Structure 1
Amino acid sequence: MTIQWETMITAEAKAATALAAARSHARARLIAHVTAAREALITRLPGQDMIYLAKEAEARAWIAATDPDIADYPLLAAEAGLTAPDPGQLAQLWLNMAALWRTTAADLEAARLGTEAAIGAAATAAEIERALEWMSAQPDLQPRNGGRNMAGGWPAPQ
């Protein structure tokens, strides 16, 4: 019987493969968690993110204008009277919503990036699992708006 030493898998190689698999699995769990948290906060329609950005831009322009003409603000014109009584209040509402989203997105992005770094730096599967513990302790990140999920209602304009 001949032993082919070059094809043998060492304990170190097995451990490295197991650690790589644990990292891959942890990254997939992290992506799934962040995706679910984001989806709980956004409207899933094609192009909706562009609409929200355009609404924010219109709202900023409306607030900055001295004597705005509603004809120059098609998104405000389309929604005024439905979501808020007038274009000024609607513009402020849109700005409040954008600020809430940025705050929540920043919290979630910091958690995602920190967890990704911890997964990459982990030397053991146990360290990888510890990096993911926040996901169980905090199943979804809530916006800092009195604990209300953005999908469940927005605060009134200031």
Structure 2
Amino acid sequence: MTEYYIPGAVPEFVRTGQAFTLAGVQYPRKWLALAGAGDLASVGAVAKPSPGPDETVEQGESGWVVRAMTAPELDARDDAEAADFAAAVVAAHAAIDAGAGAARASLLTMVAGQEMTYLRKEDQAKAYLADGDPDDADYPLLQASIGADAFPAGHPNAGQLVETVADAAAVVMLVSAAWLDLGSKIEKIRLRGKRLVTVAPDASGVAAAVAWSQAAYAAALAGDPLPAEPE
């Protein structure tokens, strides 16, 4: 939203979208937004100037006044910028963690107790395959997979439902190996993204780190190479 100083207008300092009166003429709220350079010149409108790095712009008695910021103003500005940057870093870390969670959730069933079930099922699969003479009844979680779980993509029987406890154990270990590979990539992206945020010199660097992590999660899930890290 642009601000203007219009000598003799009421009010003299006007923002885009604000009505004003000049020489008895009422100018509607949309006039400044639609006005061209010639129109603005016809009413003597002067746009608010852009201050330098350590300057501020104020409304003076006869127009805009650009002056150097005082020491307290500089301190207040620096404190506000530092607070904003700190908040951006916290939000970025949270976004990267959430991205990792979403990536994992696209592969695993994230409901209460399911993580424990996965771990126990893997334990049973390892024990079954290590047992020279296993008794199927000793592996209830593997039995639960019969007729329900299917061989994963890439397996000769991909898509076919498991029919035996031995099949179930094999599928669990295949899925576990695939998850370990992808899960490690997701964790690497999460940690690297948060490190990039930590060392980012400014807000744009923080935003770039978050964008990289989200793109990297997507690439990992798709089996594509990870994108180059931001400089």
Task: Please list, as runs of the form range in 1=range in 2, the aligned pairs for 1:1-158 lying within 5 A after superposition.
Answer: 9-83=75-149, 84-138=162-216, 140=218, 141-142=220-221
Quick one: percent identity of the two aligned structures? 31
Shift of residue 8, structure 1, vs aligned partner = 7.6
What is the rounded CA distance, in whole Å, between the counterparts of 2:83 and 2:74 in structure 1?
A: 14
What is the rounded CA distance, in whole Å, between the counterparts of 1:112 and 1:101 in structure 2?
A: 16
Hey, which of these two has a bigger chunk of strand by percent? 2
Contact kept, 8 Å, 1:23 with 1:120, in 2: the verdict is: yes
Hey, which of these two has a bigger chunk of helix by percent? 1
Shift of residue 31, structure 1, vs aligned partner = 2.4
- 1:91-125 Cα offsets, whole Å, 9 max, x none, are 01000111111111111111111111111111211
Structure 2 residue runs without a partner (length 5+): 1-70, 150-161, 225-231
Give the alignment's TM-score, normalised by structure 2.
0.55
Shift of residue 136, structure 1, vs aligned partner = 4.7
Output the amino acid matched with 2:86: A
Give the alignment's TM-score, normalised by structure 1.
0.77
Q: CA-atom RMSD, angstroms?
A: 2.4
- What is the aligned residue count? 141
Describe the shift of the 1:96–1:26 C-alpha distance in structure 2 as closer, same or farther (beyond 3 A): same
SS in 2 for 1:132: helix
Describe the shift of the 1:61–1:136 C-alpha distance in structure 2 as closer, same or farther (beyond 3 A): closer
Q: Which has the higher contact order (CA 8 A, sep 6+)?
A: 1
What is the rounded CA distance, in whole Å, between the counterparts of 2:126 and 2:108 in structure 1?
A: 21
